[in-house]
Structure 1
């Protein structure tokens, strides 16, 4: 029997299923036709069986060797903000993408403190370093695999190769009393005893949450010893006993200190000359990153990481690196009723390996899991999976695929 694709796209999808049944193919082999949102970018979906039931997988394959194909961070313009992934993709001209990092989505332990919506890990967009990672005990998301932390990223360097790495904050404040290290950059939580810097990239959200919790306990009380210093043009222009809120001007940096960090800042006075320096340093690669998003590793050199959850299924989003960093797989599970039984983290790692990934990276799941892609001839994306909450959840960032033709 021969199945020929001689009809419109909607009819072809039905013919594929009918042909598969007639040929006696297993249900896992029944998949929707492969589509190309752009040259070098392919989308397909298929059903498979996991330990807890059937799931539908939505998968983007990205060829970074293809001229014009780029990957970059989708975000609302500032760190402490969220928007639906489809809106972020269309606003930036992306042809496809998935949601990104876990984020500060709720705040019930600290009365009067609001959730910022800021992501957990480091973020780099277009070569611009937006933020560093919060302490491990302040993160949101599933238990981390053995030997990993909040500084883990999936990124693409200026060499156009994708890789997993760790981005560490290297920063300092040079003040009249001497230099001291910077402990944070545009983060919703600062390490105990540290000073963090907030720039225009943070947004207008309150900085009060930055001094709540500890490095090991997100629910610990807010610090009672805090201080804030505003620096403009390398001069202190304002001081305050408590973290404030509101947008930060482009030529300004706000320093927030807690405990020992607050005591360091109290030594500064209006008019003092202060220089703030910060950058994100890759622990493994010496190649500068054009794009990076936070999450956690799942797969290294084709082997799932030890300590991955093999019990708890959920709707998941993940990425895989193929062909020595020359290719990316971007995956989201479907959250529609009947197919939302989900996969464990270990199953996701194994799926990525079967699809050809040698390294794999976990991103935010559950109601955040979203994959978007353009149809041929369209100028806006369509949500291809069914978000488990019924509608798109606003997210702080995502992995965007671009065709610069």
Structure 2
């Protein structure tokens, strides 16, 4: 009979290796079973949005890009799934060897891609897409947890110049779960001269003071971070400003707008300018409303007017003047791009004058803005009979 000492060492090692291999595979399978599957609507689509794939300048525009079209900013996940998984005979995904999927090869620039390199192989975004493909590229389902809200922290803060602050975004879903989506969110600042924000939500301030807001978007949910960089940099000056604002607070009424302004003045460390005198107010409001300076007679008449509501009366008179409609029609003409190839009369397209007159008449008749917008957006017919039709003919030819 063979004793334990007679068993070859190599055979024992082989058996141990087999047993350990089985245990490792079992443990790996158990862990894989515990991990939730990658969901298309709440994980894959946000990655595509973050990478800019479904933006208006790429595959998200109305005509798509190079034969591949996605819904703008991922608002139609079902459409996007069909485009990625089934369109073009399903050539964009290769579940048998997920790393060789066209979606990943082009995104990592391992194959020629008009949009250039969008992600690094091995990055967190890459791993989400890779895992989704390996799992069989499951479609969005009606019983999938839906995104309910996101939380951006901090919500607001007073920052110093030349500092960094990391934002955190957390998403909450209909099944009661939540997860950190900081690295899957899209960020944008409204004042890059004051503060910038990088791809991962890190805010960096510069030396310029002021107010800045950073938008964070995940899926269809948006939150904002509000920051202030005070104009006051030294403690002594800050105390002086605080004393003046405390004194000003005693003179303010209960109007909500006054309280909000006071709050912003405190955050910025500034004291508002004093009330303008009569001549300064008359000059400013005349230029702002009519684009003209007041005459000598108008100045004398206004200064000698002792009625307490004379400023409101002045504004009403200026709004009734024809100069107001003419001046503001120029402003709205710029906004609505009512011009030809150039600004000279010979280069104006047919209908430009008609549309300009329509804008001026709308202002002169005190037409509500919502009505004007509705008439512009729904305009149809001949420009000679309905001048707002010119607006659509202008913007439809504008570049994306």
TM-score normalised by the chain length of structure 1: 0.22
Query: Which structure has the bigger radius of gyration?
Result: 2
TM-score normalised by the chain length of structure 2: 0.22
Q: Which has the higher strand share?
A: 1
